[in-house]
């Protein structure tokens, strides 16, 4: 029977009714011509799912007449008998290749070793899908759709996910369908404008009506502009996972077209997407070969025969050979660069002495085929060239140039070690040759089932290839392998990628990691023992369309060719709008409360303290130098800190039960001592100074006592014990003082304590409740987060604002921008979320942050709100040094990063496709 439906949506009505309806509408309307009701037809049962047996015949007919099966996965759909029956019918009568999975709630985890879902943990997956897929299926994540504060179908991510599903259902390439969607929206906008013009013509007889028509027309045009900008932002997000350069250009234009929360969110998300992408290099000719040094210097060969080096994005042309450059290689320090042509036997070497290429004597090289790949030893003393099939020539560097060591009747991928040359060809196996005379040291026969896509590590120690169909790639060691006998069970290591059909693969210099590539993404996998459980690979999205045999990997750096550009990746790179530097960050005490971070009024220095008293650290954010404050005279460390003024800090001395004002280059000079009215065993949890020598300073102690001291005479002007009864003996999650020192707040994880908010002048409790988090803004207003919403209490007016959507995590405590518009939430699980409260809880972006259990990164905004500073403590599970990250939060900064990663400008043709209007005369990204 001919299909009447393009897709059938299977779901649990109790869990996914809203999402199912929105998905049906989205798929049916995506890229819909204006004159048609829908672009595709999706079956969705809107009837009651009761025990009426007559329902099944309707559902079975829908299944029979549908081409695709879209399953909304959730714990309730996993338990639904109707969903189970629908899956079972589809698997019996049709193919699992036509099943599209959408995550609504719960977990969807895959067990690569078992070749099935990880059933103990895959709570969202129906058991009827057991063994239904030969490998891990792709799935669409919409788990955020119905969360509190979500924009649902108005979120640009929803359009992106609909595009994924619609392209599969309609059998059209995703990029092509996305472009068609933009064009159809353009047509609709033109029709809308035409309608406005026609209406204006009909009403022209009346001045009043004409004025109204003009207003309506302007409003319609304005709405059309806003809609087009948001659509452009959505298309940018959709392209981000495959072509980050073009996506960044489109997001930049979306912000310029209409700067609002949604377009800014798209631009921000793209600048944080694939943070390891450091830059792109606009070569101006097709990139045909690449190489990279451990410190990130890039060597490129192009179709025109030019070999160039790139240092920090700056190009230097080294040499030129006849025809297309087939392969380039570089020594570890970049002092030797070699290149070989694809046609003819032309080999060129650059040694850095005067910048002139040196000829290589290849007269003894008797191969009938042209040389096609070249390798250089790490020290630059040996060079090997192979035709990938029959011959390999080895050269040795001498004082007079390069001399031929000899030829070997072997050809393939090359690796030059300290004492041996490795040649690997899938059809012929591998051979290990002496660098002295090319004598055979070891060899291995081909592996049955091995395909042609193979590689060798730069040092020649490791071989890799796709031994069997699947996501596991076999690795063999050239020293210690079983020689000719190695085979199906003989590989030494395995690397698990996310893809089976890699278009390109390469090992790093010592074979410890494997990088595989397909169009749009690179996957970096750790080599491991075959019996060890796999770890998920690092995914480098946005790599563009692949240029075969242009992927290179050394140290922490990768480079790949994509058309007439090359993309440079740094696996230690924190992000394109983020800088990072090492700093002695105090480790937070999970039993005492979170690490405290304060920034001075100019935003140039950071004071960090740990409530255990192990250390207080001051870091200059400009020089990136840190000072660990010396211990007190009694031998202990200061606790809690605030900025007394621009250059001095005020800290608590637990030995003297007093505050100390510290100055000097190492903060060892005590300028002022301020006694506190506290018992000897009390510990100060928070300090707030107003930044003037003659002002006031307020402290919050762990016994609940809050007092304010006048610095002019040391007199206590405010003393409050209103919070003493709430202290439960352990440090609270948050004990903070308003910037103007008028109020204080206590927030404990214990629901019996919850949040208590006190007016220090009157000792009156202003509010108390169980909350998810609290934070002060720069105007001393308290923002209370509870149940997915935010309420603002202003002590100056005594008023509370209307609640707004804002979903925050409790640990670590949320952090507010000075103007109270942005809240930073999370970090304990490795992801920090920026939420725009002023835009009804729009998620500006999510940022990956290094973390481990009990060691959360703590953030603070700069006083002007233009930067987010994050302190990352030492992570022992990753052996990762502590550091400070600074993220640019300005739109101009995002645009500058966007243009840098694009490395080019938007073309008039791209403008026509994605924007749809006449291109402006100036399409420079940085205009």
pLDDT 10s digits, 222-234 = 888 888 888 888 8
**Distance from C-alpha of 908 to C-alpha of 593, rounded to nearest angstrom:** 56
Q: What are phi and psi of 539, to 5 degrees?
A: -105, 125
User: How much is the pLDDT for 733?
Assistant: 67
Partners of 384 in beta bridges = 375, 394
User: How much is the pLDDT for 198?
Assistant: 46
Residue of 582, 584, 685, 686 lying closest to 628 (CA atoms)? 584
Q: How many CB atoms lie within 10 A of CB 812?
A: 24
DSSP category for residue 237: H
Encode pLDDT of 253-276 as tens digits.
999 999 988 899 999 999 988 899
Partners of 425 in beta bridges = 429
Across 349-363, 466-480, 525-539, 544-558, least confident range: 349-363
Residue of 806, 258, 296, 363 lying closest to 559 (CA atoms)? 296
Determine the 3-state secondary structure of 707 from DSSP. strand
Encode pLDDT of 503-546 as tens digits.
889 999 999 999 999 888 899 999 999 888 888 899 898 888 88
Q: How far is CA 497 from CA 465, 505, 518, 912, in A?
A: 12, 10, 11, 37
User: How much is the pLDDT for 3?
Assistant: 56
User: How much is the pLDDT for 46?
Assistant: 60
Which of the pair, 620 or 636, is modelled with greater confidence?
620
In the chain, % of residues over pLDDT 70 = 87
Q: How confident is the model at residue 287 (pLDDT cuts 50, 70, 90)?
A: very high
User: How much is the pLDDT for 360?
Assistant: 58
Q: What are phi and psi of 200, to 5 degrees?
A: -60, -40
Helix H segments across 495-650? none
Q: How many CB atoms lie within 10 A of CB 821?
A: 14
**Distance from C-alpha of 651 to C-alpha of 642, rounded to nearest angstrom:** 7
User: How much is the pLDDT for 583?
Assistant: 93
Residue 204 has pLDDT above 50, yes or no: no
Helix H segments across 615-668? none
User: How much is the pLDDT for 16?
Assistant: 83
Determine the 3-state secondary structure of 239 from DSSP. helix
Helix (H) or strand (E) holding 180: helix 174-202
- The mean pLDDT value for 272-286 works out to 91
Across 129-143, 353-367, 431-445, 765-779, least confident range: 353-367
The answer to whether the bond into 817 is cis (omega within 30° of 0) is no
**Distance from C-alpha of 516 to C-alpha of 523, rounded to nearest angstrom:** 5
Residues contacting 709, CB < 8 A, separation 6+? 659, 674, 676, 696, 697, 698, 699, 715, 716, 717
User: How much is the pLDDT for 205?
Assistant: 47
Which of the pair, 421 or 519, is modelled with greater confidence?
421
User: How much is the pLDDT for 774?
Assistant: 92
Residue 699 has pLDDT above 90, yes or no: yes
Encode pLDDT of 774-831 as tens digits.
999 999 999 999 988 999 999 888 888 878 888 888 888 899 999 999 999 887 777 8
Residue 376 has pLDDT above 90, yes or no: yes
- The mean pLDDT value for 406-422 works out to 91
Helix (H) or strand (E) holding 164: helix 156-170
In the chain, % of residues over pLDDT 90 = 38
Two tokens, residue 202 = 């009909």
**Distance from C-alpha of 804 to C-alpha of 809, rounded to nearest angstrom:** 16
User: How much is the pLDDT for 185?
Assistant: 65
Q: How confident is the model at residue 34 (pLDDT cuts 50, 70, 90)?
A: low
DSSP category for residue 632: P
User: How much is the pLDDT for 191?
Assistant: 56
The DSSP result for 394-421, as a single string, is EEEEETTEEEEEEEES--SEEEE-SSEE
Helix (H) or strand (E) holding 582: strand 578-582
Report the Cα–Cα distance between both ends of the chain, in Å, rounded: 57
Residue of 772, 659, 780, 661 lying closest to 708 (CA atoms)? 659
* Cβ atoms of residues 925 and 252 within 8 Å: yes
**Distance from C-alpha of 551 to C-alpha of 544, rounded to nearest angstrom:** 12
Question: What strand order describes the sheet that includes 734-737?
Answer: 734-737, 743-747, 755-759, 764-769
Encode pLDDT of 853-865 as tens digits.
667 788 999 999 9
Determine the 3-state secondary structure of 229 from DSSP. helix
Q: What are phi and psi of 923, to 5 degrees?
A: -105, 15
Residue 299 has pLDDT above 90, yes or no: yes
Q: Which residue has tokens 């004492």?
A: 419
Burial class (CB in 10 A: 0-12, 13-18, 19+), 204: exposed
User: How much is the pLDDT for 217?
Assistant: 66
Q: How confident is the model at residue 423 (pLDDT cuts 50, 70, 90)?
A: very high
Across 37-46, 159-168, 653-662, least confident range: 37-46
Which of the pair, 355 or 234, is modelled with greater confidence?
234
User: How much is the pLDDT for 483?
Assistant: 41
Residue 123 has pLDDT above 70, yes or no: yes
Across 440-449, 527-536, 592-601, which has the greatest mean pLDDT? 527-536
**pTM score, two decimals?**
0.70
- The mean pLDDT value for 744-752 works out to 81
Largest separation between any pair of C-alpha atoms in the chain: 98
Residue 159 has pLDDT above 80, yes or no: yes
* Cβ atoms of residues 795 and 780 within 8 Å: yes
**Distance from C-alpha of 74 to C-alpha of 125, rounded to nearest angstrom:** 7
**Distance from C-alpha of 490 to C-alpha of 441, rounded to nearest angstrom:** 19
- The mean pLDDT value for 115-139 works out to 90
Length, in residues, of the chain = 927
């Amino acid at each position: 029977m001919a299909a009447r439906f393009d897709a059938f949506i299977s779901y649990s009505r109790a869990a996914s009714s809203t999402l199912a309806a929105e998905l049906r509408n989205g798929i049916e309307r995506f890229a819909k011509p204006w004159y048609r009701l829908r672009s595709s037809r999706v079956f969705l049962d809107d009837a009651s799912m009761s025990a009426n047996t007559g329902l099944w015949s309707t559902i079975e007919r829908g299944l029979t007449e549908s081409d695709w099966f879209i399953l909304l996965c959730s714990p309730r759909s996993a338990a639904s008998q109707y969903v189970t029956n629908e899956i079972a019918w589809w698997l019996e009568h049709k193919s699992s290749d036509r099943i599209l999975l959408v995550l609504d709630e719960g977990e969807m985890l895959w067990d690569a070793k078992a070749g099935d879902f990880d059933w103990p943990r895959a709570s969202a997956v129906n058991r009827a899908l057991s063994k239904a897929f030969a490998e891990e299926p792709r799935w669409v994540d919409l788990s955020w759709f119905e969360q509190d504060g979500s924009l649902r179908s108005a979120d640009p991510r929803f359009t992106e996910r609909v595009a994924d599903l619609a392209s599969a259902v309609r059998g059209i390439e995703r990029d092509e369908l996305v472009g068609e969607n933009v064009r159809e929206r353009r047509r609709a906008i033109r029709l809308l404008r035409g309608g406005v013009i026609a209406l204006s013509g009909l009403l022209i007889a009346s001045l009043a009506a004409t004025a109204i028509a003009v207003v309506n027309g302007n409003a319609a045009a304005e709405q059309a502009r806003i809609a087009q900008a948001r659509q452009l932002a959505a298309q940018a997000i959709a392209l981000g996972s495959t072509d980050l350069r073009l996506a960044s250009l489109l997001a930049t234009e979306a912000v310029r077209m209409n700067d609002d929360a949604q377009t800014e969110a798209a631009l921000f998300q793209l600048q944080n997407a694939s943070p390891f992408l450091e830059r792109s290099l606009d070569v101006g000719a097709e990139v045909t070969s690449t190489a990279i040094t451990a410190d990130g210097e890039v060597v490129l060969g192009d179709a025109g025969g030019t070999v160039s080096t790139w240092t920090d994005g700056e190009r230097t042309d080294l040499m030129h050979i006849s025809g297309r450059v087939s392969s380039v290689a570089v020594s570890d320090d970049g002092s030797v660069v070699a290149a070989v042509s694809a046609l003819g036997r032309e080999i060129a070497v650059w040694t850095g002495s005067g910048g002139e290429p040196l000829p290589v004597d290849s007269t003894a090289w008797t191969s009938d085929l042209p040389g096609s790949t070249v390798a250089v030893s790490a020290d630059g003393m040996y060079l090997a060239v192979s035709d990938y099939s029959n011959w390999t020539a080895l050269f040795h560097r001498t004082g007079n140039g390069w001399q031929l060591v000899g030829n070997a009747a072997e050809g393939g991928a090359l690796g030059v070690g300290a004492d041996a040359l490795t040649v690997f060809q899938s059809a012929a196996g591998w051979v290990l040759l002496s660098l002295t005379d090319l004598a055979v040291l070891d060899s291995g026969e081909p592996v049955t089932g091995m395909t042609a896509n193979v590689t060798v590590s730069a040092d020649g120690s490791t071989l890799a290839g796709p031994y069997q169909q699947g996501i596991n790639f076999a690795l063999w060691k050239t020293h210690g392998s079983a020689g000719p006998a190695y085979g199906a069970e003989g590989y030494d290591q395995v690397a698990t990628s996310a893809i089976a059909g890699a278009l390109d693969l390469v090992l790093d210099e010592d074979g410890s990691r494997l990088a595989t590539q397909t169009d749009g993404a690179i996957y970096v996998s750790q080599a491991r023992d075959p019996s060890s459980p796999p770890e998920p690979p690092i995914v480098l999205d946005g790599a563009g369309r692949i240029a075969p045999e242009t992927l290179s990997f050394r140290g922490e750096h990768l480079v790949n060719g994509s058309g007439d550009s090359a993309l440079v990746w740094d696996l230690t790179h924190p992000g394109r709008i983020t800088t990072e530097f090492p700093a002695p960050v105090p480790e937070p005490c999970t039993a005492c409360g979170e690490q405290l971070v304060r920034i001075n009024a100019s935003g140039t220095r950071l004071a960090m303290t740990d409530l255990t008293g192990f250390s207080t650290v001051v870091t200059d954010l400009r020089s990136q130098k840190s000072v660990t404050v010396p211990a007190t005279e009694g031998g202990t460390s200061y606790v809690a800190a605030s900025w007394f003024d621009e250059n001095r800090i005020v800290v608590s001395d637990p030995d003297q039960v007093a505050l100390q004002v510290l100055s000097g280059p190492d903060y060892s000079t005590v300028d002022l001592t301020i006694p506190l009215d506290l018992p000897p065993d009390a510990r100060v949890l928070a300090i707030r100074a107003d930044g003037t020598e003659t002002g006031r300073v307020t402290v919050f102690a762990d016994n609940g006592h809050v007092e304010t001291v006048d610095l002019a005479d040391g007199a206590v002007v405010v003393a409050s014990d209103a919070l003493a009864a709430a202290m439960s003996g352990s440090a609270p999650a948050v004990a903070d003082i308003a910037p103007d020192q008028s109020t204080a707040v206590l927030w404990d994880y214990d629901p019996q304590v919850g949040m208590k908010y006190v007016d220090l002048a009157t000792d009156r409790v202003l509010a108390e409740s169980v909350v998810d988090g609290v934070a002060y803004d720069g105007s001393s207003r308290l923002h209370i987060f509870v149940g997915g919403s935010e309420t603002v209490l202003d002590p100056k007016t005594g008023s509370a604002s209307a609640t707004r959507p804002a979903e925050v995590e409790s640990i670590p405590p949320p952090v507010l921008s000075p103007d109270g518009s942005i809240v930073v939430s999370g970090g304990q699980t490795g992801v920090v979320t920026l939420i725009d409260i002023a835009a009804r809880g729009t998620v500006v972006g999510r940022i990956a942050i290094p973390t481990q259990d009990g060691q959360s990164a703590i953030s603070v905004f700069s006083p002007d709100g233009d930067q987010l500073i994050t302190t990352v403590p030492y992570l022992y599970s990753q052996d990762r040094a502590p550091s400070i990250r600074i993220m640019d939060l300005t739109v101009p900064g995002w645009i500058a990063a966007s243009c840098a990663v694009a490395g080019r400008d938007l073309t008039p043709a791209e403008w026509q496709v994605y924007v749809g209007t006449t291109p402006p005369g100036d399409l420079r990204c940085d205009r």
